[in-house]
Amino acid sequence: MNRTYNAFDTAKKQFDKIADILDLDTANREFLREPVREFHFSIPVRMDNGKVQVFKGFRVQHNDALGPAKGGIRFHPMETIDTVKASAMWMTWKCSIVDIPLGGAKGGIICDPHNLSLREQERLCRGWVRQMARNIGPLLDIPAPDVMTTGQHMLWMLDEYEVIYGGKYPGAITGKPVGMGGSLGRIEATGYGLIFTVREALREMNIRLEETTASVQGFGNVAQHAIELYNKLGGKVISVSCWDQESSEPRTYRKLSGIDLQELRNITDSFGGIDRNKAIKLGYEDLPGDYWINQDVEILIPAALENSITEENASKISNKVKLIAEGANGPTSSEADKIIQEKGIFLIPDFLANAGGVTCSYFEQVQSNSNYFWSKEEVLSKRDNKMTDAFISVSDLAKKMDLYTRDAAYILAVDRVAKACSNRGWT
């Protein structure tokens, strides 16, 4: 990760460009450029050795004009408030683009769960909720899992919230385990949703998905499920990259005949780290972490972290690449965007490509609030409809106004939120 990169600067730059295109009025421009609320707090946690360690936590609510704020909680040792602010803003656009009645938020804790026992993680989750309980809830702001947080973390958080309020509030948090208020289809939601948009984009380009190959950055929740559906539809992934805990650097594992998803899953930890030695034994080429980007494939899927496609490495993208589907949030820098455009690559922007997760979170909230749960088929088909509709509206606008797809998506999303703020009389 480039330490000088600031995700919030990128998010604001993207917003400014769209505000200019939309000729947005000054009040909306000022209001939407910054979060509406921002929380910074310290979480004291009694560690297993009896000592207290203090962790830094954040929650940012960027905008809630369309409905209660919604967004994940990230556990990351290099978490910064600006990454959280950028992610919260992207959540606002994401909920807007798929046309669900929710706003944008994001939270985080500076920590490395690899170094925490399960009991310490539980105390950390409960501590985060104790700090935020007054400002989250089914009608205010609904957290969910994100980088290095799981359904178990969400359940501990919900339990703490319910202890504080003395009632059952399953709609207060999403991403809960199935059977404990979670929705069927949530685990695969983001990865599957991404492939729905890939399927639609390839259809528009008259490319048969079964004849394509892909290279993926990341091997966590989003990447694994994207690969699962892409494989089911007939596509072949030739390389994946992930963080290697032992060497503290990313690695890329390649098999030109196609990676075997299950085989790799069997040697992957719960944080999406593939066991390097076992991968080599299974016949995977062990390559430097950034090699995922220069593979001769039709599709690139950055599904790990922000700022992965930069001015420095975008020129390494093979001429064979036709499509980039952004699974991660903010994986492409503004400079890299220009190179991608020049290369004529079709881009499915992050807040559209990875909106399957929040769409399913919204379905989970609806089900939790009404205490009535749908079948997996119902969830999947409702999500497919939402993602496909959103993709088509973005792609139609891009064609009509001859726009880069990221700009078209932004125009639709920002316009909806700005109108909601004005209609409420806020701006």
Return the active site residues: 106
Per CB under 6 A, 289 contacts ligand NAD: yes
Kindly tell me which residue out of 69, 109, 201, 328 binds ligand NAD, with binding defined by CB under 6 A: 328
Residue 14 DSSP symbol: H
Among 157, 297, 305, 336, binds ligand NAD (CB under 6 A): 305
Among 14, 357, 391, 412, binds ligand NAD (CB under 6 A): 357
For position 108 contacting ligand NAD by CB under 6 A, the verdict is: no
Taking the complex as a whole, the smallest distance from the CB of residue 250 to ligand NAD amounts, in Å, to 3
Two tokens, residue 350: 């992050």
Residue number closest to ligand NAD, CB atom: 220
Applying CB under 6 A, among 79, 272, 294, 398 the residue interacting with ligand NAD is 272
DSSP 133: G
- In 111-227, at which residue ranges do the beta strands (DSSP E only) sit? 141-145, 213-217
Residues 228-267, mask of contacts with ligand NAD (x by CB under 6 A): -------------xxx------x-----------------
**Residue selected from 329, 333, 365, 427 as contacting ligand NAD according to rule CB under 6 A:** 329
Closest distance of CB 154 from ligand NAD, Å? 12
Number of residues that bind ligand NAD (CB under 6 A): 27
x-or-dash string of contact with ligand NAD, 399-418, rule CB under 6 A: --------------------
Amino acid identity at 105: A
Coil, strand, or helix at residue 76?
Answer: strand
Half-sphere exposure at residue 148, Cβ-oriented, CA atoms within 13 angstroms: 21
In order of 16, 224, 269, 345, the CA distances from 282 in angstroms are 48, 18, 16, 33
What does the H/E/C string look like for 285-314?
EEEEHHHHHHCCCCEEEECCCCCCECHHHH
Task: Give a three-class secondary structure readout of 18-75.
Answer: HHHHHCCCHHHHHHHHCCCEEEEEEEEEECCCCCEEEEEEEEEEEECCCCCEEEEEEE
Mapped to the 3 state alphabet, what secondary structure does 209-272 carry?
A: HHHCEEEEECCCHHHHHHHHHHHHCCCEEEEEEEEECCCCEEEEEECCCCCCHHHHHCCECCCC
Q: What minimum distance in Å lies between the beta carbon of 207 and ligand NAD?
A: 24
Q: Confirm or reject binding of residue 147 to ligand NAD (CB under 6 A).
A: yes
Q: Residue 398 corresponds to which tokens in the numbers above?
A: 């891009």
First to last CA, the chain: 37
Nearer to ligand NAD, 6 or 422 (CB): 6
Q: How many residues does this entry show for the chain?
A: 427
- Asked if 91 touches ligand NAD (CB under 6 A), the answer is no
3-class SS shares of the chain: helix, strand, coil, % to 5: 50, 20, 30
Interaction between residue 148 and ligand NAD (CB under 6 A): yes
Q: Is 187 in the site for ligand NAD (CB under 6 A)?
A: no
- Which CB sits closer to ligand NAD, 63 or 354? 354
Q: Of these, 212, 215, 295, 354, which contacts ligand NAD (CB under 6 A)?
A: 354
Q: Taking the complex as a whole, how short is the minimal distance between the CB of residue 178 and ligand NAD, in angstroms? A: 15
192 to 231: interface string for ligand NAD, x by CB under 6 A:
-------------------------xxxxxxx--------
203 with 391: CB under 8 angstroms?
Answer: no
For position 146 contacting ligand NAD by CB under 6 A, the verdict is yes
**Interacting residues with ligand NAD (CB under 6 A):** 146-148, 190, 217-223, 241-243, 250, 271-273, 289, 303-305, 327-329, 354, 357
